[in-house]
Amino acid sequence: MSLGTVAVTGAAGNIGSVVREALRRDAARLILLDRVPLRPEAENEDVHTVDLRDPVAVEAALAGADSVLHLGGVPDEAPLDELLQANVLGTHNVLESARRTAIKRVVLAGSNRVTGFYPVAHLTGPREPARPDGLYGVSKVAVEALGQLYADKFGLSVICLRIGSFEHAPTEPRHLATWLSPRDAVGYIRAALTAPPSTRFAAAYAVSANTRRFWELPTPAVLDYTPVDDAELHAGNIPGADLPADPAAPQAGAYALPEFTLRHLRP
């Protein structure tokens, strides 16, 4: 199935690099955006060096796209002003450009960290109230809210993927619940890009089929993809994997510790 013309922000990042290679075969054209220079690697690639905080540059780069996969932004805890500029304002500029240029579908890179304070024993679904584990999580709550706003008010079709721990292989005990393999990441993204146009807004956890996961998998009615990888197959290589998890501990693990955020606050 041809994906038409797909724009990818943050195309030089960890996920962007994997997705770029995978979607190259299915898209008639790939428009690749990042703040670091990129080189085209195929005839159907167009590359743009763009700061997502610049609305005029974003709109110009997205011209002609049928859909946008928005991966760009600060990927972890940082001072709030940096997160607001890169993640919230950057997302607003992408959504506003999509509205102005009549792009049909926007897929937003959300994060599992919007619900990091739910306990490990709780199977968390996307309709539950946000419980962000830090300032980064707060910025991703705002990203989802912007997506919902543009879907409700302007009729965009927006799907927000709450991305798990994207790694080539799990490396720590928490990953046994939160791992998202590259293969499953591509599967979720393809499903989000090709979901029916009638999908106005949806949020879904993008996580592999981990035996120990504590997030709900999306139903086919929301996102027609079934993950295939399980972090449990790597448990023998992870120190501490045999220790029982504290059911009352936050799903975010160390991200929920005060120290994780305190270093980004004004002393």
Q: Which residues pair with residue 201 across a beta bridge? A: 158
The one-character DSSP state at 132 is -
- Over its C-alpha atoms, the chain yields an Rg (Å, rounded) of 18
* Pairing label, strands 67-70, 45-49: unpaired
191 Rama sector, left if φ>0, alpha if ψ -120 to 50, beta otherwise: alpha
| Other Cβ atoms closer than 10 A to 191 | 21
Q: How far is CA 12 from CA 19, 114, 202, in A?
A: 10, 24, 26
CA angle 50, 53, 55 (to 5 degrees): 80
Q: Which of 136, 150, 188, 205 is catalytic?
A: 136
Q: Is 150 a catalytic residue?
A: no
Report the candidate in 55, 54, 151, 46 with the shortest Cα–Cα distance to residue 104: 151
Helix axes 90-101, 55-62, angle to 10 degrees: 50
Enumerate the H helices of 155-257 as residue ranges: 175-178, 182-193
- Give yes or no for a contact between 115 and 76, defined as CB atoms under 8 angstroms apart: no
CA angle 138, 157, 24 (to 5 degrees): 90
- Coil/strand/helix, residue 233: helix
| Positions marked active-site | 136
